[in-house]
Amino acid sequence: MKNKLYFLAVIIAATIFVYSCDEASQPDTETQTAIDNARAEEAVSQIYSTVNHYGINEEGIKSGLSDTTCPIITVDTSISFPRTLFVDFGETGCVGPDGVTRKGLLKITYSGHWYDPEANTTASVELVDYYVNSVGLEGIFSITYNGENSYGGPSFTIESDSAKLTLVSGSEITWSSTETINWVEGFDDFIYENDVILITGSSSGVNSEGRAYESEITTELRKEMSCDYIVSGIYELTPEGLAKRSVDFGDGECDDEATVTVNNVTLDITL
């Protein structure tokens, strides 16, 4: 009986060892976290550009495009700062200057004038039933003007707390982040399409499959407002339980492609 039990124990141990070795030998091809974090980065840059666009050059604080029927922009300039700007895209939504369809309401509270602001001027953003191209966006966003950057343009810090994207499929991506945005091109005119920003910083979140992750930008991300995607830059990403990997957006070409490199293996992804 003892011999049988010993033999059975040996078989079980060998099976576990073989299974463990086989599991360990499987390549790490997880890319969903990279795709979802890229979506979160796009959402942050969209919030920044929208707040900036509608707050930068109109009397009071609002944008000079208030003669449009959508969005409807209102602000009470009879009161002193802080003033709240309402940007209402309506229930059906409308297409912005960047070609993106938005619906819902942005409630943006500015602590001071957003055109040529003083250092530490802030814009706090509240989202009400807000959607970008049918993707829901929630969370607390705060933007702080830091002063002039080395390019001669403005520098901002944007903080995202408990942010969430609800995809068309119903899946959710959640994150919190602190990032610096440097406006490096197009800041000396009011043409949206030639604006370029560089993004640095870090974030942590949970991807659409429920896996937690941490991310840090190691080479600044370049976002050109004429393009739907980040065109260059690298961030390091560590999904829970998996190895650190790098995500590279390429050399500046406007496309929906990036690469994920993990354990010396490079994988192509579509954003």
The residue ranges of every structural domain in the chain are 30-228
Q: Quote the pLDDT of residue 245.
A: 98
> How buried is 78 (Cβ within 10 angstroms: 0-12 exposed, 13-18 middle, 19+ buried)?
exposed
In the DSSP assignment, the letter for residue 90 is T
Model confidence pLDDT, tens digit, residues 121-146: 999 999 999 999 999 999 999 999 99
Mean pLDDT taken over the chain: 88
> How far, in Å, CA of 165 to CA of 119, rounded?
31
> Rounded to 5 degrees, what angle do the CA atoms 120, 122, 106 make?
165
State how far the alpha carbon of 73 is from the alpha carbons of 61, 136, 185, 188, 241, in Å. Answer: 11, 21, 26, 23, 46
| pLDDT the model gives residue 60 | 54
pLDDT digits (tens, 9 = 90+) for 7-27: 444 444 444 444 444 444 577
Contact 236, 58 (CB under 8 A): no
pLDDT at 200: 98
Q: Which residue has the higher pLDDT, 81 or 59?
A: 81
| Closest to 180 measured CA to CA, from 163, 154, 200, 202 | 200
pLDDT for residue 69 = 77
List pLDDT tens digits, range 203-237.
999 999 999 999 999 999 999 999 999 999 999 99
Query: Which is more confident, 23 or 46?
Result: 46
For the chain, count helices (H), then strands (E): 2, 14
For the residues 173-195, what does the mean pLDDT come to? Answer: 93
pLDDT at 62: 45
Instruction: Please report the pLDDT score of residue 25 as a whole number.
Output: 52
Alpha carbon of 259 to those of 33, 69, 236, 237, 239: distances in Å? 12, 41, 12, 12, 16
Q: What is the pLDDT of residue 109?
A: 95
198, burial (CB in 10 Å: exposed 0-12, middle 13-18, buried 19+) = buried
Nearest to 56 by CA among 159, 181, 184, 154: 154
pLDDT at 255: 96
Q: 10 Å Cβ neighbour count for 177?
A: 24
